[in-house]
Chain A
Amino acid sequence: MTYYYPQGSLVFAADPTGAHSNPRPVIVISTVDRPYVEQEATVVCLTTKTEYSYEVTELPSDVVEGLDLHKTSYVMPWAIYTIPLSSIRDDLPSGTLTTGGLRLIADIIDKMVRS
């Protein structure tokens, strides 16, 4: 099966080096029409922390479907990466943002670009 993760997927990416034990939660922002969709995904990182020198924006738990977030989560718009699809762990929970959730992500990135 040739698979991908649609735009708005909330997934966990694994640390390839083993230096960090926790898989990292990320949101896929690329679409199926992205080049090399079968190999890569462009993602934005999530965190539970707010003590950054840059602004983070809360991701309300009710904009995620298929997954219950038990901790308040924030989007880090400056942490956008293109990662190998094979680093996304399909044996860990994953969910999908609602249309409102995706709009929120777009607004957060838009705000960073325009500021």
Chain B
Amino acid sequence: MPIDLREHNPDDRIDIRPGTNKAAIIKLLYRDTNLAYTPAEIQEALDLPRGTTSTTLSRLHDDGMIGRTSDGLYHGFEHRDDLRRFARSLVQLDSMFTRHPDAGFRPNDVEQTGTGAKREIPRYRIAERDVPGEEPAPNDWVTETDTGSNSDGSGEEDQ
């Protein structure tokens, strides 16, 4: 089916569900886009079945989400800020569930009495795309004026 380019934006949200094999591979390969992995390494790192690993890698590659070197190594793309961001949010999601696994109440402990919170994004926000900018390197950003941070709690200047 043709896609209306007036509505299409390649920066649209990533349609990968957390917890899927695709999400796990994106999370691994976008942790550091300078690193490339063989399918066997990916399979071992993520504990996936062999057939599943190669099929999922092929699909992600065909969709342009990951790269493959001429000698068969898979990697994330440095220019795909959207996927790098998605991978980072998956890491945070994992942290949230690992550190705080049980909230003590479940969906059954609440009762829906209204229409729900989900809303459509206003058109003005869709039109205004966020353009990621480069942050300066640490040495260009700050100049150290002391011996280091007051991690020992000895900093009394602001008290």
A111 within 8 A of B: no
The reply to whether B85 and A90 contact each other, CB–CB distance below 8 Å, is: no
Assembly CA distance A14 to B120 (angstroms): 21
CB proximity to B under 8 Å, residues A88-105? 90, 92-96
The reply to whether B105 and A73 contact each other, CB–CB distance below 8 Å, is: yes
B153 within 8 A of A: no
Assembly CA distance A19 to B19 (angstroms): 10
Listed by A's residue number, 19 A-B pairs whose Cβ atoms lie within 8 Å are A2-B120, A5-B117, A17-B19, A17-B97, A23-B106, A25-B103, A36-B85, A38-B126, A40-B85, A68-B110, A70-B111, A71-B105, A73-B105, A83-B92, A83-B93, A87-B93, A93-B107, A93-B112, A94-B117
Residues of chain B at the chain A interface (Cβ within 8 Å): 12-19, 23, 82, 85-86, 88-90, 92-97, 99-107, 109-122, 125-126, 130
A106 within 8 A of B: no
- Provide the residues of chain A in CB contact with B103, threshold 8 Å: 22, 24-25, 45-48
Assembly CA distance A69 to B103 (angstroms): 13
Return the contact of A39 from the options B85, B116, B126 (Cβ within 8 A).
B85
A1 within 8 A of B: yes
The reply to whether B130 and A35 contact each other, CB–CB distance below 8 Å, is: yes
The reply to whether B121 and A3 contact each other, CB–CB distance below 8 Å, is: yes
CB proximity to B under 8 Å, residues A37-73? 37-40, 45-49, 65-71, 73
Assembly CA distance A86 to B15 (angstroms): 8
